[in-house]
């Protein structure tokens, strides 16, 4: 599955593999840092608190024990259920972008293909442990994986930019099998003929290819198939193996002659990402698309939407119960997690208990009632809990669908007033997120609002950081005006207000370092002496000594920087490297600082940044996006990309 957006960029289909290569290299770069810092404070244990759901890239039903289901996620690893998806547990939290899952029905070996740069993994104990099997696999961005049912040691994988690879020894070694395929082919789908397993089909950008000799040679089979299209899913009728279905942009294409000719779909059902077939009635088909799930009862001639109860309409993966085909599973790619139907897709319900693989892009704590928490997800919007994270509910009434959610801020004086920044501007709720209203007067149309800050003394004064600079409101968001004079870089990633002198504020920018305003944003000056990086992702001000400021960066070597003179000069702390995404200071003991790293988890300093120690025990996902701390410092919260939220208390 293509990775989703962060604060800095929203990735769309086709670029996920390139992004994942960058992620992989940075993860390895962080290993030494984590190893050297993971020393003290390990008595502190993080506890996952949800919300439940996640981006589901792949699904597989155990062909020997069909009550066992596996879900591959973007950044949360692999989850397993042994009770038909009623409950889930994480069986591997380190694999990223698990794009393909397949089980050998003879040995019960489970294979996972990833696009995180890690290649192929095998588990011989139903997911309990995993081993990399990449010898000879020179392209490790794996989109698809199929197993020869008559010879389970024979496996094929389709890769990004490397075509098809084959193993005949269960993954001990791999060899490319690309004769006839375009150079550096991006193979998005594979299907193997169960009757004649030497016959395979490959879907790539531009059409389909066929091999009748176990991948040794390939021939294009594109008659009737648009050259610009891309086959993202392939499926063969097990009874009539010359009947093939190809899911692509515009719907499901069908061939009745082994791919020699393709018939275009009569109905455009969007981009098709997944296909499933009723094993008892092969003319009954299901398609997972960018607009939900569609069903055909006549071999693909006609289709109808079956989305009742399907909260996440970006259906990226499908799986069907091999014995009871009225039971289906669907994986949502916009954070909705896994959905299940027991009536042939007519009705769906979310089945995510224990599946905490959701992205947390924003987090806020009610300062008066700290058991009330808010979490924001880029696609799904706002989650709210009033019991400290035991239960969550959606709180999106009034927000746009797919809001491109960015940030949250709570009025410190009237905490039932909550502000939200989205890709389409600002929203305000005066009833604890029960209802939202847009507050965009004075903002440019569809402003992508990245960060917000509230004046701690005069809470009707707000600041918003956008791609077009800083905007200020003095009336609780009713109207806004530009407050960017002097800013030489207008992409604002962080804002911090001096708690003692709130007319003083700081802005962290994408490529201009730190700026300071002493007049409520009317003018700004650059404050970069000693800073060795230009991108500042996070800022935190010491509440007792506001001239002490911390700045985090995720560019170059990254790290945490510190100023003790109100930003006039900076020095790097001992956490001088790391992809720093968040900073918070203990309000009761300001010498204690927490730093979140997008690849290394959470670090803590108890001496104003002079020394740091990783505090990651219990934190299975270390792609930290946000940090928050209670006003009495009794709990620290972390929001991750792909692992939900966790609490340290």
User: What DSSP assignment string belongs to 530-560?
Assistant: T---S---EEEE-SSSTT-EEEEE-STTBEE
The whole-number pLDDT of residue 403 equals: 86
In a domain, 464, yes or no: yes
Residue with structure tokens 């089945």? 351
CA-to-CA dists, residue 555 to 509, 600, 604, angstroms: 12, 14, 20
Q: Is 244 a residue whose pLDDT tops 50?
A: yes
Side-chain half-sphere exposure of 103, counting CA atoms within 13 A: 23
Helix (H) or strand (E) holding 35: helix 16-37
SS3 593: strand
Would 614 be classed as within a structural domain?
no
pLDDT score at 40? 42
Whether the Cβ atoms of residue 192 and residue 148 lie closer than 8 Å to each other: yes
Q: What is the pLDDT of residue 21?
A: 43
φ, ψ for residue 20, nearest 5 deg: -65, -30
Q: Is residue 639 part of a domain?
A: no
Which of the four pLDDT bands, split at 50, 70 and 90, describes residue 4? very low
The answer on pLDDT for 529 being more than 80 is yes
Give the pLDDT of residue 221: 95
Range from 91-100, 340-349, 502-511 carrying the lowest mean pLDDT: 91-100
Q: What percent of the chain has pLDDT over 90?
A: 85
C-alpha of 503 from chain center: 37
Question: Cα dihedral sign for 395, 397, 398, 403?
Answer: positive
Predicted confidence at residue 7, as pLDDT, reads: 33
pTM: 0.88
- Dihedral angle over CA of 566, 522, 460, 362, nearest 10: -60
- 19-33, 124-138, 277-291, 365-379: which has the minimum mean pLDDT? 19-33
Q: What is the mean pLDDT of residues 537-545?
A: 97
516 pLDDT more than 50: yes
Q: Structure tokens of 358?
A: 């959701």
CB 89 within 8 A of CB 126: no
CA angle 390, 42, 370 (to 5 degrees): 30
541-572 in b/e form (b: 16+ CB < 10 A) is bbbeebebbbbbbbbeebbbbbbeebbeebeb
Quickly state the pLDDT bin for 229 (edges 50, 70, 90).
confident
* Band (37; pLDDT cuts 50, 70, 90): very low
Q: What is the mean pLDDT of the chain?
A: 91
Contact 117, 20 (CB under 8 A): yes
* DSSP conformation letters of 1-14: ------SS----TT
3-state helix, strand, coil in the chain (%, to 5): 5, 40, 55
pLDDT of residue 94: 78
Contact 338, 349 (CB under 8 A): no
Report whether pLDDT(253) > 70. Answer: yes
Q: Are 396 and 408 in contact (CB under 8 A)?
A: no
SS3 406: strand
CATH number of the domain that residue 501 is part of:
2.130.10.10
CA neighbours closer than 13 Å in the CB half-sphere of residue 45: 4
DSSP 3-state of 24 = helix
Written as one string, the DSSP assignment of 286-340 is EEEETTEEEEESSTTS--EE--TT-S---EEEEEE-SS-TT-EEEEETTTBEEEE
Q: Is the pLDDT of residue 416 over 60?
A: yes
Enclosing domain of residue 403: 356-577
Give the chain's domain count: 1
Indicate if the pLDDT at residue 459 is higher than 60.
yes
User: Could you tell me the two tokens for 320?
Assistant: 């069907």
The pLDDT of residue 206 = 80
Q: Where are the alpha helices (DSSP H) in 345-481?
A: none
List the structure tokens of 133: 């099997």
Counting beta carbons within 10 angstroms of the beta carbon of residue 32, is it exposed (0 to 12), middle (13 to 18) or buried (19 or more)? exposed
Q: What's the rounded Cα separation, in Å, for the pair 616 and 599? A: 12
| Bridge partners for 175 per DSSP | 166
Q: Residues with Cβ < 8 Å from 84, sequence gap 6 or more?
A: 67, 69, 327, 340
CA distance 574 to 641: 25
Task: Give the CA distances from residue 89 to residues 70, 166, 292, in Å, rounded to whole numbers and listed in that order.
Answer: 10, 31, 26
- Residues 301-333 as b/e (b if ≥16 CB within 10 A, e otherwise) read eebeebbeebbbbbbbbbbbbeeebebbbbbbb
Q: What is the pLDDT of residues 475-515, one digit of tens each?
A: 999 999 999 999 999 999 999 999 999 999 999 999 999 99
16-25, 66-75, 510-519, 573-582: segment of lowest average pLDDT: 16-25
d(Cα 555, Cα 577) in Å, to the nearest integer? Answer: 9
Name every residue whose Cβ is closer than 8 Å to that of residue 529 and which is 6 or more positions away in sequence.
Answer: 568, 569, 570
Please indicate, yes or no, if residue 570 is contained in any of the structural domains: yes
Query: Residue 501 CA to chain centroid, in angstroms?
Result: 38
**How large is the average pLDDT for residues 458-478?**
98
Average pLDDT over residues 311-335: 94
- What residues contact 13, with CB distance under 8 A and at least 6 apart? 2, 271
Band of pLDDT at residue 299, cut at 50, 70 and 90: very high
Q: Is residue 647 part of a domain?
A: no
The answer on pLDDT for 181 being more than 70 is yes
In a domain, 458, yes or no: yes
Tell me how far apart the alpha carbons of residues 46 and 592 are, in angstroms, rounded to a whole number. 18
227 secondary structure, DSSP code: T
Over range 127-146, report the average pLDDT: 96
Residue 527 lies in a domain: yes
Query: What is the Cα–Cα distance from 135 to 410, expressed in whole angstroms?
Result: 52
3-class DSSP state of 364: strand
Q: How far apart are CA 301 and CA 549, in angstroms?
A: 64
Q: Which of 82, 79, 76, 75 is nearest to 59 (CA)?
A: 79
Mean pLDDT of 106-133: 93
Stretch among 29-38, 420-429, 437-446 having the lowest mean pLDDT: 29-38
Confidence of residue 43 (pLDDT cuts 50, 70, 90): low
- With cut-offs at 50, 70 and 90, classify the pLDDT of residue 154: very high
Joined together, the tokens standing for residue 485 give 């004079």
Strand-strand pairing, 356-357 and 362-365:
unpaired
The DSSP bridge pattern shows strands 549-553 and 538-541 to be: antiparallel
131 found inside a domain: no
């Amino acid at each position: 599955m293509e990775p989703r957006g962060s604060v800095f960029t929203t990735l769309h289909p086709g670029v996920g593999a390139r992004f994942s290569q960058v992620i992989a290299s940075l993860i390895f770069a962080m290993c030494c840092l984590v190893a050297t810092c993971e020393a003290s404070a390990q008595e502190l244990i993080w506890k996952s608190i949800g919300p439940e759901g996640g981006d589901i890239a792949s699904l597989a039903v155990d062909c020997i024990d069909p009550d066992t289901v596996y879900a591959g996620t973007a950044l949360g690893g692999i989850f397993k259920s042994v009770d038909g998806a009623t409950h889930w547990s994480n069986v591997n939290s380190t694999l990223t972008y698990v794009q393909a899952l397949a089980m050998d029905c003879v040995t019960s070996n489970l294979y996972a293909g990833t696009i995180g740069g890690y290649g192929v993994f095998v588990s011989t104990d139903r997911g309990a442990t995993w081993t990399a099997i990449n010898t000879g696999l020179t392209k490790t961005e794996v989109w698809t994986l199929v197993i020869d049912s008559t010879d389970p040691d024979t496996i094929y994988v389709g890769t990004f930019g490397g075509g098809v690879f084959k193993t005949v020894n269960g993954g001990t070694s791999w060899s490319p099998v690309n004769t006839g395929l375009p150079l550096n082919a991006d193979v998005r789908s594979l299907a193997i003929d169960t009757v004649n397993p030497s016959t395979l089909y490959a879907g790539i950008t531009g059409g389909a290819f066929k091999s009748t000799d176990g991948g040794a040679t390939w021939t294009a089979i594109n008659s009737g198939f648009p050259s610009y299209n891309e086959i993202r899913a392939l499926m063969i009728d097990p009874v009539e193996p010359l009947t093939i279905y190809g899911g692509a942009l515009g719907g499901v294409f069908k061939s009745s002659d082994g791919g020699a000719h393709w018939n275009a779909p009569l109905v455009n059902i969007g981009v098709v990402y997944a296909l499933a077939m009723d094993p008892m009635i092969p003319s009954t088909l299901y398609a997972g698309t960018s607009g939900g799930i569609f069903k055909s009862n006549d071999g693909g001639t006609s289709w109808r939407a079956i989305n009742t109860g399907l909260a996440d309409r970006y259906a990226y993966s499908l799986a069907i119960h091999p014995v009871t085909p009225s039971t289906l599973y669907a994986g949502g790619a916009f954070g909705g997690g896994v959905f299940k139907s027991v009536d042939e897709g007519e009705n769906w319900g979310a089945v995510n208990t224990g599946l905490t693989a959701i992205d947390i892009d924003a987090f806020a704590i009610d300062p008066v009632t700290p058991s009330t928490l808010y979490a924001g997800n880029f696609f799904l919007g706002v989650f709210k809990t009033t019991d400290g994270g035991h239960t969550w509910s959606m709180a999106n009434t009034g927000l746009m669908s797919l809001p491109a959610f960015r940030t949250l801020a709570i009025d410190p004086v009237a905490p039932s007033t909550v502000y939200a920044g989205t890709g389409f501007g600002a929203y305000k709720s005066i009833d604890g997120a029960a209802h939202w209203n847009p507050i965009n007067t004075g903002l440019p149309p569809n402003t992508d609002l990245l960060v917000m800050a509230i004046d701690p003394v005069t809470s009707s004064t707000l600041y918003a950081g956008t791609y077009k600079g800083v905007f200020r409101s003095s009336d609780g968001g009713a109207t806004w005006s530009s407050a960017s004079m002097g800013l030489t870089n207008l992409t604002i990633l962080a804002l911090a207000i001096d708690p003692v002198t709130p007319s003083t504020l700081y802005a962290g920018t994408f490529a201009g370092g730190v700026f300071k305003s002493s007049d409520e944003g009317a003018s700004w000056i650059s404050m970069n002496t000693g800073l060795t990086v230009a991108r500042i992702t996070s800022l935190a001000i010491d509440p007792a000594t506001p001239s002490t400021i911390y700045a985090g960066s995720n560019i170059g070597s990254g790290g945490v920087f510190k100023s003790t003179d109100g930003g006039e000069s900076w020095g790097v702390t001992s956490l001088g490297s790391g992809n720093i995404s968040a900073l918070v200071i203990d309000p009761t003991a300001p010498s204690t600082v927490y730093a979140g790293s997008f690849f290394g988890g959470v670090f803590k300093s108890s001496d104003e940044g002079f020394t740091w120690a990783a505090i990651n025990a219990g934190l299975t996902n270390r792609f930290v996006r946000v940090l928050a701390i209670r006003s009495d410092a009794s709990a620290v919260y972390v929001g991750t990309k792909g692992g939900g939220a966790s609490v340290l208390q």
